[in-house]
Amino acid sequence: MFVLEIIWLTCIFLIFHSYVLFPAVLKILSINKKQNNNVYTYKDDLPSVAILLAVFNEQSVIEEKIVKTFETKYPLHKIKFYIGSDASTDATNEIISKYSSIYPIELVIFPGRTGKSGIINRLAELAKEEIYILTDANVFFNEHTIYQLVKHLRTNQSHKWVEILSILFIKKMEYPIKKNRI
């Protein structure tokens, strides 16, 4: 019976921690913190953005994804869309090819199943833009999404952290890539 009481009290504490204690601690710690006011505006020279997307049989949503992504207030000449098709067997590749003549889209077709992480890693190697945005086929951007994701990366401090985190991530996630894959 004592064990059940400990389990019950632990569960109550975890719920209390999640909904009361943790938010209260965050509020206290953020009292003297200031919001980052050094942000990009639409009038600034915004950085170039690479949007990376891995797809597999996404014909039902890919057209809307492409159109919604380019219906943005972000300057279109600063956006490049990299799409990796993981051996799709439906009309996904044809739909993407149709839009690649209208928008700056680079389609990479992988002949065999590679997996999402393998495709994203390969697309990241191809991309030369300043900022990468990873997304999924059924996540649709509104007209301000890209700007909202990029605007706080103006400060030198945030760039340093992005570079440090990127280096740590890349060092941790490096995998040998077979050259004959694509």
Domain chopping of the chain, boundaries: 49-173
Cα 24 from chain centroid (whole Å): 29
| pLDDT at residue 68, as a whole number | 94
First to last CA, the chain: 61
Residues with Cβ within 8 Å of 137's Cβ and at least 6 positions away in sequence, in order, are 53, 55, 58, 61, 62, 65
**Model confidence over 38-58: pLDDT tens digits?**
889 889 999 999 999 999 999
- Furthest-apart CA atoms within the chain: distance in Å: 70
**Model confidence over 90-119: pLDDT tens digits?**
999 999 999 999 999 999 999 888 899 999
What tokens appear for 178 in the block?
């077979």
Nearest to 69 by CA among 36, 104, 112: 104
- DSSP annotation of 128 reads -
Give the C-alpha separation, 98 to 114, whole Å: 24
- Identify the band that residue 160 occupies on the pLDDT scale cut at 50, 70 and 90: very low
Give the C-alpha separation, 66 to 103, whole Å: 9
**Model confidence over 71-84: pLDDT tens digits?**
999 999 999 999 99
Residues with Cβ within 8 Å of 73's Cβ and at least 6 positions away in sequence, in order, are 42, 143, 144, 147
Give the C-alpha separation, 88 to 110, whole Å: 9
Name the strands in the sheet holding 131-135, side by side, starting at the edge strand that comes first in the sequence. 105-110, 79-86, 49-55, 131-135
Give the C-alpha separation, 178 to 176, whole Å: 6
Tell me which of 3.40.640.10, 3.90.550.10, 3.40.50.620, 3.40.50.2300 is the CATH number of domain 49-173: 3.90.550.10
Helix H or strand E encompassing 156: helix 156-173
Q: Is the pLDDT at 161 greater than 70, yes or no?
A: no
